[in-house]
Chain A
Amino acid sequence: MPQYLMCVWFDDEYDSELDRTSPDVMRTDHQIDVLNEEMAERGIWVFAGGLQPANSATVVRANAGETSMTDGPYAESKEQMGGFWVIEVADLAAAREWAGKAAAACERPIELRPIQG
């Protein structure tokens, strides 16, 4: 069955200062937990994860056998990806439905992308 990537996009400030005990965060965290359970029950959950903020990223490059590292994300932007799911569903219609649920749970935009294969 086709697989899709669903990425959560944060267009506000997201760094390690995020207060996980704030009412907003606790509400969305709970909503995401409920959604994950539902995905697991329906057998569509392949993988998911919340990401540490972009400033925890490192870009690694390989050039003629040598690797180099640069501090920070690949693209500097105000928007950053905060987490993602990989789901396996019958078709795009099904994927869009789940993306809608994810958007509602996260209260943030979801980018839905098909995985090749």
Chain B
Amino acid sequence: MSEDLPAIFRREVGRCTATLIRVLGDVDLAEDAVAEAFAIAAERWPETGVPPNPGAWITTTARNRAIDRLRRESTRTQRHLAAQRLEMPDMEPDDQADLRDLDALVDVVPDDQLRLMFLCCHPALALDAQVALTLRLLGGLETPELARAFLVPETTMAQRIVRAKRKLRDNHAPYRIPRADELPDRLHGVMVAVYLVFTEGHRATSGDELVRTDLSAEAIRLGRVLVELMPDEPEAVGLLALLLLTDARRPARLDADGSLVRLADQDRSRWDRTLISEGHELVRACLRRNQPGPFQIQAAIAAVHADAPNAASTDWSQIVALYDLLHAQRPNPVVAMNRAIAVGELRGAPDGVAELEAIDATQLADYQPYHAARADLLARAGRPADAVASYERALELTTNQAERRFLVDRRAAVTGD
């Protein structure tokens, strides 16, 4: 086979699952059916070859397996309920044709995957549940993989997913694209979840390795799907641009010891120029649309960094202006913090400290990057004692070993140890 089965699986699982959920009206049934279909494919395709449209083959096979199962296992009442869920309100309860009519419904509708993304990223779920469900249903990641990726025990991850599905089912969460008035918020929610998948991969929150590549790649894949399915949404383009431009820096983020290298110190010749080029193109496309939004602005900021051949030539005034715009759209302490850091670069550390201290830090009290950034600015502003105190607080909050080593080194540089 020219493309291996795991790659085909990753590529098709989201689409197939999404369509089967619509057709069957049941997430677990759909998941099981798709898994069965892939198992059959794994047996047959090595002999028969990969069919010309593997996704359609999987979807059709899954549907057939599900129908067989419904026939075998369901009572008449359950089949009637299933038919009701399948958008066929006129079906008589004992009409066997209801199951055969699944044929008509099983054409893959591009919207299906979008519907599934909105379902997985429902705001009634906690964010970690949204992320887990998205990766499971749209990415096909199995529980052990997810547990490893997020460094929780398998039973914890299994429960997280079971509870999330159950919550959506018990609350009768509708399987549809949100209405126009809900859409901006819901879409933002989806993008936040995808971004969280990426940041978890880009900078692990715990464990020894700073970077987990699979999650970043999966986030970028989902980002591309989102752009493909919502071509009129500039924020989706902005998100993808942000992911690409950030991912471009990955080769330079760790040194030979596996220690964190800050943006300012990175060897920019190691940045991935192809990703930067695509990212820039997407940012330019967003600028032409002139409908700025938070992800587009963050992408533009990343583009300014990517433009600079070295840290010293970074256009900080452009970055401060972009943070002003971002803060106007999404006022929150983290944005204010990042803006203060940029001001520190533009006008000197004391100004940066002043901006930082003007922020109401109650929400940032447990936010590790805040204390790390504050420590750095204080050190550069000639306040070593305060800097050390901030490094201490940052270390208390750091769970990642690579970051821990970095902060310990920075603190030592201040104390002269």
Contacts and interface: CB of A to CB of B under 8 A. Distances in A.
B123 A69 contact: yes
Interface in A34-55: 52, 55
B129 A71 contact: yes
A16 B166 contact: yes
A72 interface: yes
Q: What class of interface size applies to chain A in its complex with B?
A: 10 to 19
Contact of A16 (B123, B125, B126, B170): B170
Contacts of A58: 124, 171
A9 to B, nearest CB: 20
Given A69-B123, A69-B124, A71-B124, A56 B129 contact: no
A55 B166 CA distance: 9
B126 A56 contact: no
Nearest to A70: B126
Contacts of A56: 166-167, 170-171
B122 to A, nearest CB: 8
A55 B171 CA distance: 11
Interface in B104-157: 123-126, 129
Contacts of A16: 166, 170
Interface string B161-193: 001001100110000000000000000000000
Contacts of B123: 68-69
B126 A72 contact: yes
Contacts of A69: 123-124
Contacts of B171: 52, 56, 58
Interface string B350-370: 000000000000000000000
A58 B130 CA distance: 14
B166 to A, nearest CB: 5
A68 B124 CA distance: 9
A56 B124 CA distance: 9
Contacts of A72: 126
Query: Which 4 A-B residue pairs are closest in the complex by CB-CB distance?
Result: A71-B126, A58-B124, A69-B123, A56-B170
Given A69-B123, A72-B126, 6 more contacts: A16-B166, A56-B166, A56-B167, A56-B171, A71-B125, A71-B126
